Structure formats: structure tokens, C-alpha cells
């Protein structure tokens, strides 16, 4: 559904609003971007760029770290040792917040 809606919006943008979209803000789903680059709604002279939503990027980082901790825990491995420096849920939360702020600021 998203792919078809994006295709319709991009194809009619010039006729209806006299503008061309050049950047796609994405939540990580590559199907819409692939579809738009394959149909080339504005011809070969206009390239479409893909930008990731910062919240989705930091969310995926947190999920990947939590999955890594769970996987290592199953194998009996502690990340960062035992005690200070260990990769805990609180440390993962702080890392995702730091990463999110670093992207926004930079």
C-alpha cells in the first residue's frame, strides 16, 4: 500500500503542485525507494535520495543491542565483563539517546 501511494503522489506532484520531490524520508523500508528509483517519476535528470528517520535508526540500534545481549546471555557471555562497563538495559538506553542526539546535532 505504501509503495503504491508513494508512486501515485510522486507521479502527480508536477501536474498538481508544480513541484518535484527529491528526498524520500524512510522508516527503513527499501521497497518504496526501489520502486521510485525504478519508475523515475521525473526522468533521468532528477535523482531521488533516501534519508532515514532518526527515530527509526536509533530504535533499530537499541533493538540490535538488546538482541545481541540476549544472544550472548544464552551462550554464557557477558558483554563488558561483570559489573562496571557491562552492557545493561540502562546502558543501551543511554547509547540510543546519545546516538539520536549526535545525529540531530551533526
Q: What is the pLDDT of residue 103?
A: 83
User: Residues 19-38: what's their mean pLDDT?
Assistant: 85
More confident residue, 28 or 52: 52
Q: Exposed e or buried b for every residue in 34-56, given b needs 16+ CB within 10 A?
A: ebbeeeebbeeeeebeeeeeeee
Q: Quick: pLDDT tens for 49-90.
A: 888 787 888 888 999 999 999 999 899 887 777 777 788 899
User: Residues 11-32: what's their mean pLDDT?
Assistant: 86
Per-residue pLDDT at 106 exceeds 70: no
Instruction: Give, in order, the Cα–Cα distances in Å from 96 to each of 59, 66, 67, 90, 102.
Output: 7, 11, 14, 10, 10
Q: Closest by alpha carbon to 26, among 47, 59, 57?
A: 57
3-state SS class at 66: helix
Amino acid at each position: 500500500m505504501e509503495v503504491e501511494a508513494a508512486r501515485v503522489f510522486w507521479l502527480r506532484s508536477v501536474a498538481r503542485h508544480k513541484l518535484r520531490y527529491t528526498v524520500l524520508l524512510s522508516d527503513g523500508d527499501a521497497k518504496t525507494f526501489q520502486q521510485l528509483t525504478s519508475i523515475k517519476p521525473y526522468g533521468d535528470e532528477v535523482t531521488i535520495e533516501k534519508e532515514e528517520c532518526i527515530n527509526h535508526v536509533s530504535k533499530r540500534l537499541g533493538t540490535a543491542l538488546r538482541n545481541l545481549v540476549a544472544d550472548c546471555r544464552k551462550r554464557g557471555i557477558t558483554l563488558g565483563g561483570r559489573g562496571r562497563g557491562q552492557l545493561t538495559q540502562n546502558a543501551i538506553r543511554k547509547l540510543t539517546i546519545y546516538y539520536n542526539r549526535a545525529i540531530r546535532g551533526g
